Amino acid sequence: MSAFDYIFSDVGIDLGTANSLVYLGRKGLTVNEPSVAAVNSKTGQILAVGEEAKKMTGRTPAHINVVRPLVNGVVSDFEMTEEMLRQFLKRAARTPLLGFRRGVLAIPNGVTEVERKSVEDAAKNAGCSKVYLVEAPVAAALGARLPILSPTASLIVDIGGGTTDIAVISMGGIVVAKTLRTAGDKLNEDIVRFVREEFRLAIGEPTAEHLKIAAGSAVPVDGRIEVSIRGRDYTTGLPREVTVKNAQVRQAIQKSLRTIVDSIHEVVELTPPELVGDMLAQGIVLCGGGAMLRGIEELIERETAVKVSVAEEPLTCVARGLGQIVDDFAGYRTLLDNPLKPLEIKL
């Protein structure tokens, strides 16, 4: 390691809708926090970001807003994203003397030029001298140790918080891809709606998330799981506790899961025949928080007739892929998704 590396550092940033992860070059993952910020609307002061802010969700007075500045994988609140990112970079284990030389960020497949620019500007304003973008499915496949640089098909399904990215990758590039707005947040919304209609009970997103993790499944499971939740009764307006069974949670989320499975079908149908043959041997790899839902690999395998596996540490696949790019920037430079800018014509 040269003296230059002690002054500057490279960083990989996975700005996710639900969680943000920071990989510090040669150090590993140093930050894994919820993409949440709490702000005082009276003073404009940011009170907390990450886990501390998430604990405030649904528990704040009117003048304190708990917001998620990223929606569906893209920036919706630029200033809040910038400040949140600045705080996360400060929490890195070894802060360089003169900031970060390179920042490598993951973006969903198919984002607009405006959305790309907002991510680049937020990272630059937070302290990165140069910003490089990588499509999230490519970073996820790299983190899942798939042979993406070889001429063989790698089908990755990244079920995140705001989006589900489905992509067939070969020779370091995406052959066929589709991005859905159906992901972890949509499953939470389904559970909130189901509890409202079935039990006439109002619950918040944290309770729905807890219910999904504790009792959610994509296919019937052995045994019965029951979870007690509390909320506000729509009829009386008073607090009430109900017990929800795992079969009811599965019923609540089955429509969204069907949407994901149908989209995988569409991607496979559009894949060139030779790569489909590779896919049958290689299988489908799941990553992201949604990959941890009970039985989801069994559901997809049954519907596609292709072997399905869950990547090791699915929550950190994208960040670990970015880390490989950061640590060997020259070797993986071809994976970067920075389009050529038009030449300036001077008159």
Give pTM, 2 decimals. 0.88
Average pLDDT score over residue span 135-163: 92
- Tell me the C-alpha distance between 283 and 239, whole Å: 48
Torsion angle of C-alpha atoms 226, 231, 233, 238, degrees rounded to 10:
130
Let me know: does 175 contact 168? Beta carbons within 8 Å.
yes
User: Could you tell me the two tokens for 9?
Assistant: 């550092």
Residue indicated by tokens 């639900």: 18
Q: What is the pLDDT of residues 84-114, one digit of tens each?
A: 888 888 887 555 555 688 899 998 887 888 8
Share of the chain above pLDDT 70, in %: 93
Residues in the chain: 347
Q: Which pLDDT band holds residue 6 (cuts at 50, 70, 90)?
A: low
Q: Which pLDDT band holds residue 57 (cuts at 50, 70, 90)?
A: confident
Which domains can be identified in the chain, with CATH numbers? 3-139+318-335 (3.30.420.40), 146-182+256-315 (3.30.420.40), 184-252 (3.90.640.10)
Average pLDDT score over residue span 275-299: 92
Residue 344 has pLDDT above 70, yes or no: no
Task: Note the pLDDT of residue 95.
Answer: 52
Average predicted confidence (pLDDT) for the chain = 88
Task: Note the pLDDT of residue 347.
Answer: 35
Average pLDDT score over residue span 53-64: 87
Task: Note the pLDDT of residue 169.
Answer: 93
Give whole-number Cα distances, 332 to 73, 86, 157, 163, 304, in Å.
23, 26, 21, 25, 32
Backbone angles phi, psi at 297, to 5 degrees: -65, -35
Q: What is the three-class DSSP state of 223?
A: coil
Average pLDDT score over residue span 266-273: 92
> 347 or 13, which is more confident?
13
Residue indicated by tokens 């069994």: 298
Residue 252 has pLDDT above 70, yes or no: yes
